[in-house]
Amino acid sequence: MHVYKMSNRVPELIICSFIVVSLLVIHFFSDLLRASLGGFYTKDVTLSQILDAQNSDYAWLLKLLVNCFGYSCVFVPGYLIYKYVARTGYLERGNKTILHTAINMCITGNSTYEPLDVAASTADKERSAGSVAVKRTSSQEAVQLLWCFGGLMVSYLTWGVLQEKIMTQKYLNFAGESSKFKDSQFLVFANRLLAFMVALIYLQWQPSPTRHRAPLYKYSFASFSNIMSAWFQYEALKFVNFPTQVLAKSCKIIPVMVMGKIMSKAKYESYEYATAVLISLGMIFFMSGSADSNKASGVTTLTGVFLLSLYMVFDSFTANWQGSLFKSYGMTSLQMMCGVNLFSSIFTGASLSMQGGFMDSLSFATEHPKFVFDMVVLSICSAVGQLFIYHTIDVFGPVVFTIIMTLRQAVAIMLSCFIYHHSVSALGIFGVLIVFVAIFLRVYCTQRLRAMRKRAEANKPKMAV
């Protein structure tokens, strides 16, 4: 009996050894990296501090490589466990330990509960159909719209102002000395951790009628691209001003279309291509007419544009991957928010631990109390903003949400120029107008095309039975 129990524990011991050995090897190589970069630095200096001391225009590239090396703390053990489980048939064994349950959820999901999922999703559809049948009065509709509009505006305008402040402005410590916060990854970690906690609490408070059945590892792809896009977004503020970043986000339509073509073989209408070209032209005019004297050289500007381009590429992958998960597994938006932010917190937390970034950021926070306040409010606005996004799309649909967010972008640009004194020429203003006209034209054409298709469908002659 004792021998039987020991043989059952062998797979768990092997899986745990994968994790321990992988972490030890990664830690060893991180020490080598710190020694090779540090040179004359003392042993007490962390890898994060060495990276922050780099003042080159290309220091972001070194930080990016080190961040990705930190993410391997999760990817490498995960890949080894996945291969071991697939080769040995570990999940088919009868010993239901905590580790077995956790690995089963990560790799296969709740596939054993498929009949319950179908029933739950049917009930959910009936419930949602009933909610659509209950019509709101005009005054109730107006109050709901104002609530969504106000929530999105307040949360994301505050988030935008604080994002620019944290990444570009100096904070005073207790001695009156000023310094900048440099670790973008810590901000991503704080935002994603709070968003995960908010989504988890909301799901516990108001459980979803749809049983979650997706393998958890599926979220890791969207999570990785999500933290990469967020990191590129924060880093770009070191090279270009906030209005440029906001307007660049309007160009997300272009990489989303390209990624849709590659991943889903999607087809697009001619007006979609036309508006994409208009948005690109508007962005070029704005970049030409909004040179910021504080962002030094042409190399710096090109670096900022390149970082924004990478942000859009990763962000468009996130949107397309999440769309495929919604189609395949039918999870709710809050379940998606919870899953993606869970892995984002794990990835960034592992990378920060490997670099020593936690202690450096916490040390900065203890010396700069205003930074703590800004970071907490930034994270709250990010998490609450995500809830407002899901609520607005659920109640009013994606078109109304797109219009609100486009207006928010316009206000964010004006607010940033007013608070942080960014100069924009007439050519830059003309570029902004082209971008927003193109976005509204796109929304109008989409709605008109849908209405025409519905009318054509309704006017089709019905076949006699």
Q: Where are the domains of the chain?
A: 7-111, 137-453
Instruction: Kindly list the distances between the CA atom of residue 84 and the CA atoms of 15, 16, 297, in Å, as whole numbers in the listed order.
Output: 8, 12, 51
Residue 112 is predicted with a pLDDT of: 45
Instruction: Kindly list the distances between the CA atom of residue 184 and the CA atoms of 243, 313, 375, 427, in Å, as whole numbers in the listed order.
Output: 19, 19, 11, 32
Q: What gap in Å lies between CA 370 and CA 455, rounded to an integer?
A: 57
Residue 151 is predicted with a pLDDT of: 93
* Cβ atoms of 110 and 47 closer than 8 Å: no
Reported in sequence order, the residue ranges of 50-209 that DSSP labels E, i.e. its strands, are 171-172, 178-179
Per residue of the chain (465 residues), give pLDDT as tens.
Answer: 454 455 567 888 888 898 888 888 888 888 787 777 765 555 567 777 777 777 667 788 888 988 888 898 899 999 999 999 888 888 887 667 888 888 888 988 864 434 334 344 444 444 433 344 446 777 888 888 899 999 999 999 999 899 989 988 899 988 888 898 988 899 999 999 999 999 999 888 887 777 788 899 999 999 999 999 989 988 888 888 778 777 777 666 677 677 777 766 777 788 888 887 887 788 777 766 665 555 444 445 788 888 988 988 898 888 788 888 888 888 888 888 999 999 999 999 999 988 888 888 998 999 999 999 999 999 999 999 988 888 887 788 766 777 787 778 778 888 888 888 777 778 888 888 888 888 788 878 877 887 888 888 777 765 544
Q: Three-state secondary structure along the chain? A: CHHHHHHHHHHHHHHHHHHHHHHHHHHHHHHHHHHHHHCCCCCCCCHHHHHHCCCCCCHHHHHHHHHHHHHHHHHHHHHHHHHHHHHHCHHHCCCCCHHHHHHHHHHCCCHHHHHHHHHHHHHHHHHHHHHHHCCCCHHHHHHHHHHHHHHHHHHHHHHHHHHHHHHHCCEECCCCCEECCCCHHHHHHHHHHHHHHHHHHHHHHCCCCCCCCCCCCHHHHHHHHHHHHHHHHHHHCCCCCHHHHHHHHHCCHHHHHHHHHHHHCCCCCHHHHHHHHHHHHHHHHHHHCCCCCCCCCHHHHHHHHHHHHHHHHHHHHHHHHHHHHHHHHCCCHHHHHHHHHHHHHHHHHHHHHHHCHHHHHHHHHHHCHHHHHHHHHHHHHHHHHHHHHHHHHHHHCHHHHHHHHHHHHHHHHHHHHHHHCCCCCHHHHHHHHHHHHHHHHHHHHHHHHHHHHHHHHHCCCCCCC
Backbone angles phi, psi at 41, to 5 degrees: -75, 155
Q: Which residues pair with 178 in a beta bridge?
A: 172
Q: Which residues pair with 426 in a beta bridge?
A: none
Q: What gap in Å lies between CA 318 and CA 192, rounded to an integer?
A: 15
Encode burial over 50-75: b for 16+ CB neighbours within 10 A, e otherwise.
Answer: bbbeeeeeebbeebbebbebbbbbbe
**What tokens does 166 get?**
């944290």
Give DSSP secondary structure letters for 96-137. --HHHHHHHHHHT-SGGGHHHHHHHHHHHHHHHHHHHHSPPP
Q: What gap in Å lies between CA 219 and CA 217, rounded to an integer?
A: 5
Helix (H) or strand (E) holding 213: none
pTM across the whole model? 0.77
**What tokens does 180 get?**
């900048």
What are 36-95's pLDDT values in tens digits?
Answer: 776 555 556 777 777 777 766 778 888 898 888 889 889 999 999 999 988 888 888 766
Q: How many CA atoms lie less than 13 Å away from 268 in the CB half-sphere?
A: 18
Q: Which amino acid is at 142?
A: A
Q: What gap in Å lies between CA 417 and CA 286, rounded to an integer?
A: 13
Which residue shows structure tokens 């020429």?
Answer: 425
Q: How many CA atoms lie less than 13 Å away from 194 in the CB half-sphere?
A: 18
What are 392-426's pLDDT values in tens digits?
Answer: 877 887 667 777 877 787 788 888 888 887 777 78
Per the rule left: phi > 0, alpha: psi between -120 and 50, beta: everything else, 334 is alpha
